[in-house]
Amino acid sequence: MRLFAAFYRWLKEDRTVKSSSRIIKTSILATLLVAATFVLVGAASELQKGELLFQDDFETSKVGGAWGCLRGENQSNYYEAGKYIINVVPADSWWRVQSGRSFGDSIVEVEATPTGGPDDNVYGLMTGWQNWSNYYLFMISGDGYFRLSKREGGNWTRNDPWTRSEAIKLGKATNLLQVQRQGETLSFYANGVKLADYVDGSFPEGNAGLIAGTTACGGGNLTVSFDNFSVWALGGP
């Protein structure tokens, strides 16, 4: 910002320059402002983490979260090769699991990788889980979109529009997903880049979990692999 302030003073002080010279200066300033805007929007902003509150590397079902295992005809969730797998067979179907661990203000994160199925999908993090009628879902898709959904009293009371973000890695790539809760502010991150802030104080504390699902248009048989699920206390001053 100091650079732009100095440039602006230089532009204002030079009252005697020719018109063409002032046009050149103005063009330089506009270029700098565009570049600065690009950097600020696309820059990663690392979250300030405190104490590690919980971690699960999914190497075994005997320690860590109470995720459970199910192998069904339509939905499955299970441990495999140090990952936690969710498979959803029908189109337009979501499957959610929760860790059995409750947290308030914190940072929840996981590495998520679609390994099979359509890129028109949904997967991500669940926070604030009270029961299966009350929770938040922070989701991305394999084709580069994100959204927040909120279930309250057994109804979907919030379904934000899907929004495109260049921070989301496409297709079968691994995305690091993070949700920070600080008071009533919920911040959603993908690969270190903040996607959005949301203000909602309905569920200040609740279990954290995972979601994967299909869409009506994308079709079925989605598999998503999750790894390195962790929850951190907030850091910083």
Structure confidence by residue, pLDDT tens digits, 204-229:
999 999 999 999 999 999 999 999 99
**Cα gap 48→118, rounded to integer Å:** 34
pLDDT score for 53: 97
Token pair 């860790």 is at which residue? Answer: 99
Level-2 CATH architecture, domain 49-234: Sandwich (2.60)
Digit-coded pLDDT (tens) for 14-26: 444 444 444 444 4
**Number of residues written out for the chain:** 237
pLDDT score for 182: 97
Give the H or E element holding residue 29: helix 19-42
pLDDT score for 65: 83
pLDDT score for 9: 52
Blockwise average pLDDT, block size 10, the chain, 237 residues:
46 45 44 38 73 96 91 97 98 97 97 98 98 98 98 97 98 98 98 97 97 98 98 90
What values do phi and psi take at 152, rounded to 5? -140, 130
**Cα gap 65→118, rounded to integer Å:** 28
**Cα gap 138→215, rounded to integer Å:** 16
